[in-house]
Chain A
Amino acid sequence: MSELNNTYTISVYTENNLGLLNRISAIFLKRHISIESLTTSQSEIENIFRFIIVVSITKSRVERVIKQIEKQIEVIAAFYHSNEETIFLETALYKVKSKSLFNEKTIQKIIKNSQANIVTVSPEYFVIEKTGWRKDTEKLYDELEPYGLLQFVRSGRISVSKEPMNISNILGLNTDK
């Protein structure tokens, strides 16, 4: 078994159900696959939810996992995509002492160059938001870190696939609007 691990974005369209997150995470737990990130949100269809799960596994494993996910009663469909097949982003928030902003000229330069946004400024702290790929948010982290980060948080990946996923067809919904 010389198959290599690859990063896959798994998209799961589901009915809204309380216990479903538990069922889906159990599928990964049972196979000892760690979830690198997980995001749930409303999808493009009313009352249909979308899970976006990022894992690093082999192609044959992701294919099997997809079938196990689709087997869950309230899952409408599940898909997997490689990075090349999706448009994906993450958002990071950085909380820094306000003193640094005013005292260190370089900070303002860092923010400008990284195309990050200042979300809020108060006398004690300010918050920067950066949306992009992992390497972008990590680069900004490395640059801000010497000035003392009070807090840092990064969201799970959100992504859309380049190819259509045709959930409406699966559900038999009319999409010709």
Chain B
Amino acid sequence: MSEITKISGAEAVIKSLLKEGVDLIYGYPGGAIMPIYDELHKYEDKLNHVLTRHEQGATHAAQGFARVTGKVGVVMATSGPGATNLVTGIADAQIDSTPMVCITGQVASHLLGSDAFQETDIIGISSPVTKWNCQVTKASEIPEVLAKAFYIAKSGRPGPVLIDITKDAQFELMEFSYSKCKRIRSYTPVPNYSIKQLKKAAELINNAKKPLIVFGQGVILGNAETEFKNFIEKTGIPSAWTILGLSALPSDHPLNVGMVGMHGNYGPNVLTNQCDLLIAVGMRFDDRVTGNLDTYAKQAKIIHFDIDPAEINKTVEVDVPVLGTVKETLPEILKLVNKNNHQNWLGKFHSLYEKEYSKVIKEELHPTKEGLSMAEVVKEINIASKGNAIIITDVGQHQMVACRYAKFNESKSNVTSGGLGTMGFALPAALGAKMGAPEREVVAIIGDGGFQMTIQELGTIFQTGSAVKIVVLNNNYLGMVRQWQEMFFEKRYASTELVNPDFVTIAKGYYIEAKKVSKREELKSSIELMMNSKKPFFLEVSVEKEHNVFPMIPTGASVSDIRLD
């Protein structure tokens, strides 16, 4: 081979990304990754690099992109602080099973371990929060390692992967050839299901009088929305969702009985402890879902469909595990289950909903108080979007309210930080979601606390011109923490009150059209104005200051002890 056919490791990175079909990267350059950025410059017609204002923003943007497209989000950062700034987003992607590949630059290999400028052990730091990570010190390893990275990130239960490439490997010349990774001998992305367990599960389903399904993100990650709908429609089983399962089943589906968990709906929480069969589909029994495990669905038989064997019996002991992807196992079990309906049992959910409606929902959606409620803002967004928007939420009271009241017609439309609860997630995630689904309306609903954690990404939204609609529900408090202080710490409001800047001026400083609403009469028209805009739009809504989210399962309580006030 002549020297002419050789390319640099840096160019090999770009070519590998192109081979994986990547056309969008979020990142931030710096010393140890400059050779790769230099190649990016040459390939800028094929690969769009979005410069975020902080590396954390790049990870959340990639997550937002991945969550709405199902594709792998790609992030680049330099060594040292660039790499450590990715950690929160990586941890978020790990716990919420989001496919992501992060590429970090590293000091030259002869400097490794010498405490060189901007050297940090990102492999060591990121190990507990990545599905896989790998350091590359030779250019020749780059194509194979990147092929593995993409395969691991998106196969099986998806997750984040970090590849750390030393600067000398980026400069080194190599002969490029690429083949996609199809198998790793030590890794089984999708475990086989057992026919025996499927039959057992079908028998339990056919004999159940009061079955309840709780579904999670597994339905969305497995692209199994249709298979899931066919399954519940044939069996007639009431179906409740976890926060990450939201939008997998249309909000108005007659078998959709709402959200389980700490701030979920009254019916599915109470009836979890009355059902005779609990069918968990692609969910992981998070503690925010189960409440006190000692009193969680003890009367019920439990079937657990999951792709990850480590989730079986992790917190809740189950009677019948069904491994594999629900895309395959649900159609299989569909053949074994009888057509059924559970009208009387479904009626129980409806009557408990009526109770929740009269005690909580009515006042939330149609407040009699002067102050605006978060829920009525969400209601107006529903009306304006007709349930067709992608809703991005941050973490806290507004998140619970938005997930409780937002309406969805389409899957992959709810993007929130579920497992990690990362404040600051929403603004950059909304940018990524909009770039992943430019034809759709993307509305970020954010609290005044979380908004200020990644507020700098307004700059990225402005620079890319992404028509993200940003709604900040401002109560001048870290509302959820304040709620807990009110309920469990005798109103000692330690460091939860925020004295906020003029957000409208800040948004305008970034050349983003902005408006503030504090009166009910202006709410509808302001939301319409925002939704009709073809550009990014910022809407601040002053909401009731000291308002609590109900229903609520207090920590340590049973799901059936959910409080309505």
The interface residues of chain A lying within 8 Å CB-to-CB of B21 are none
Choose from A30, A67, A76 the contact partner of B185 (Cβ within 8 Å): A76
Q: Taking the complex as formed, is B310 at the interface, i.e. its CB lies under 8 A from any CB of chain A?
A: yes
Give the contacting residue for B186; candidates A14, A26, A30, A64; CB below 8 A. Answer: A14
Q: In the complex, which residue of chain A has the Cβ closest to the Cβ of B317?
A: A60
Q: Is the CB of A64 within 8 A of B310?
A: yes
> Size range of the interface on A?
20 to 34
- Whether B185 lies near A171 (C-beta < 8 A) is yes
Contacts of B127 in A (CB 8 A): 19, 22-23, 26
- Say whether A70 contacts B310, CB under 8 Å: yes
Expressed in whole angstroms, the Cα–Cα distance for A75 and B187 within the complex equals 7
* A73 with B310, Cβ < 8 A, contacts A26-B127, A172-B185 known: no
Q: Does B163 contact A (CB under 8 A)?
A: no
Q: Is the CB of B135 within 8 A of A18?
A: yes
- Number of B residues, CB within 8 Å of A: 20
Contact A22 B310 (CB under 8 A): no
Indicate with 1 or 0, residue by residue over A155-177, a CB within 8 angstroms of chain B CB atoms: 00000000000000001100000
- Decide: B186 and A76 in contact? CB cutoff 8 A: yes
Q: Are B187 and A73 in contact (CB under 8 A)?
A: yes
Report the Cα distance A73→B185, complex, angstroms. Answer: 9
Q: How far is the CA of A68 from the CA of B311 in the complex (A)?
A: 9
B124-168 residues at the A interface, CB under 8 angstroms: 124, 127-128, 131-135, 152
Contact indicator B186/A75 (Cβ below 8 Å): yes
Judged by DSSP, the binding face of B is mixed
B367 within 8 Å of A (CB atoms):
no
Map CB proximity to B onto A66-94 as digits: 1 under 8 Å, 0 otherwise.
01101101111000000000000000000
Question: A19 touches which one: B123, B152, B309, B312 (CB < 8 A)?
Answer: B123
CA gap between A23 and B162 in the complex, in Å? 14
Q: Which residues of chain A have C-beta atoms less than 8 A from B187's C-beta?
A: 73-74
Q: Does A64 lie within 8 Å of B132, measured CB to CB?
A: no
A22 to B135, CA, bound (A): 14
- Also in contact, A64 and B313, with CB within 8 A (given A30-B128, A73-B131, A73-B132): yes
Asked whether A15 is an interface residue with its Cβ less than 8 Å from the other chain, the reply is yes
- In the complex, A63 has a CB within 8 A of chain B: yes
Residue B354 interfacial (CB < 8 Å): no
Q: Tell me if B42 is interfacial: C-beta within 8 Å of chain A.
A: no
Complex Cα distance, B309 from A71, in Å, reads: 8
Please, which residues of chain A bring their CB within 8 A of the CB of B128? 23, 26, 30
Query: Closest Cβ of chain B: how far from A163's Cβ, in Å?
Result: 20
- Decide if A73 touches B314 in the complex (CB within 8 Å): no
Partner of A15, one of B124, B186, B310, B312: B186
B308 in the interface, Cβ–Cβ < 8 Å?
yes
Is B184's CB within 8 Å of the partner chain A? Answer: yes
Known: A18-B135, A73-B131, A73-B132. A63 touches B313 (CB 8 A): yes
Q: Within 8 Å CB of A63, what residues of B? A: 313
A-B CB proximity, top 6 nearest: A67-B310, A76-B186, A73-B132, A26-B128, A71-B310, A73-B187
Are the C-beta atoms of B314 and A64 separated by less than 8 Å?
Answer: yes
What 9 additional pairs, Cβ within 8 angstroms, besides A15-B186, A22-B127, A73-B186?
A22-B123, A22-B124, A60-B313, A64-B313, A67-B310, A70-B309, A71-B310, A73-B152, A74-B187
Cross-chain pairs A/B with CB under 8 angstroms, 14 sampled: A14-B186, A15-B186, A22-B124, A26-B127, A26-B128, A60-B313, A64-B314, A67-B310, A67-B314, A71-B308, A73-B184, A73-B187, A171-B185, A172-B185
- Taking the nearest CB of chain A, how far is it from the CB of B311, in angstroms? 8
Q: Which residues of B contact A23 (CB under 8 A)?
A: 127-128
Query: B153-197: which residues lie under 8 A (CB-CB) from chain A?
Result: 184-187
Q: Is the CB of B309 within 8 A of A67?
A: yes
Task: Produce 1/0 per residue, B280-324, CB < 8 A to A.
Answer: 000000000000000000000000000011101110000000000
- Residue among B134, B184, B187, B312 having the largest count of chain A Cβ atoms under 10 Å: B187
Distance between B293 CB and nearest chain A CB, rounded to angstroms: 11
Q: Are A19 and B310 neighbours in the complex by a CB distance under 8 Å?
A: no
